């Protein structure tokens, strides 16, 4: 595992590419959230902000966090330019050290992968506990490697949704797994190339306050 400072690493990643002017939301987010009543959402690892901006446009109040200050600054500017500044709070946050405060109706963790040290199970456990009763945790991971992925290790294997759920270790009396599957879709990369990819999708709903 690399000992590189995460802030420096991810700041360099985002600074090396042009700022997105129209970041798109992830397909698994839109298919899951469409039809749900808007409330308070937390976007973990917000990146370029496509999910945050889409949620805010649907009426959600979104707390967006990323370890990269570059990503957070860009998202803040985009939200303001679209008239969504009152619905988006973007902050630089290192999930290795703490979890954002607050209670949420939705926590979204899309492709929260890193080559650096991160206790992901602990982060997702904190996310589940941050849900209000009835709230949902949506975890979407890579189930395959796209041609444009930053990690092209042919031996890379991410846990499947049931394994992720088991790793979080939630009480089944207080949290219910609503979805755990690995659908395929055609994705478009940043250079316009398309490829069929697999997503690992886990959706957990909090049923009671334990």
> Is 131 within the bounds of a domain?
yes
CATH (domain of 179):
3.40.50.150
What's residue 174's pLDDT?
A: 96
75 within domain boundaries: yes
pLDDT in tens, the chain (210 residues): 445 788 899 899 899 988 889 999 999 999 999 999 999 999 999 999 999 999 999 999 999 999 999 999 999 999 999 999 999 999 999 999 999 999 999 999 998 988 788 899 999 999 999 999 999 999 999 877 665 565 656 666 778 999 999 999 999 999 999 999 999 888 777 667 787 888 999 999 999 865
Say how far apart CA 117 and CA 6 lie, in whole Å: 8
Predicted pLDDT of residue 1: 44
In angstroms, the CA 69 to CA 7 distance is: 7
In a domain, 159, yes or no: yes
Residue 103 CA to residue 135 CA, distance in Å, equals 9
Q: Write the CA distances from 95 to 71, 109, 117, 206, integer angstroms.
A: 15, 12, 10, 21
pTM beyond 0.75, yes or no: yes
Q: Residue 116 has what pLDDT?
A: 83
Query: What pLDDT shows up at residue 186?
Result: 83
Domain extent for 115: 6-206
Whether 115 is in a domain gets the answer: yes
Classify burial at 193, counting beta carbons within 10 Å of its beta carbon; exposed 0-12, middle 13-18, buried 19 or more: exposed
pLDDT for 118 equals 87
Q: In this structure, is residue 106 part of a structural domain?
A: yes
Quick check: is 1 in a domain?
A: no
Q: Which two tokens stand for residue 25?
A: 């939301």
Total number of domains in the chain: 1
Is residue 50, in this structure, part of any structural domain at all?
A: yes
């Amino acid at each position: 595992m690399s000992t590189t400072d995460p802030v420096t690493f991810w700041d360099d990643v985002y600074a090396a590419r042009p700022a997105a002017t129209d970041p798109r939301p992830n397909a698994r987010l839109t298919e899951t959230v469409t039809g749900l009543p808007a409330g308070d959402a937390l976007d973990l690892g917000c990146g370029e902000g496509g999910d945050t901006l889409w949620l805010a446009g649907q009426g959600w109040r979104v707390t967006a966090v990323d370890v990269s200050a570059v990503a957070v600054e860009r998202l803040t500017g985009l939200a303001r330019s679209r008239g969504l500044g009152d619905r988006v709070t973007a902050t630089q946050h290192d999930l290795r050290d703490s979890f954002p405060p607050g209670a949420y109706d939705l926590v979204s963790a899309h492709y929260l992968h890193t080559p650096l040290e991160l206790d992901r199970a602990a982060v997702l456990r904190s996310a589940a506990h941050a849900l209000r009763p009835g709230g949902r945790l949506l975890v979407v991971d890579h189930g395959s490697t796209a041609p444009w992925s930053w990690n092209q290790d042919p031996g890379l294997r991410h846990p499947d949704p049931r394994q992720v759920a088991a790793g979080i270790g939630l009480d089944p009396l207080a949290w219910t797994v609503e979805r755990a599957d690995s659908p395929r879709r055609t994705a478009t990369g940043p250079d316009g190339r398309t490829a069929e990819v697999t997503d690992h999708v886990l959706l957990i709903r909090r049923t009671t306050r334990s």
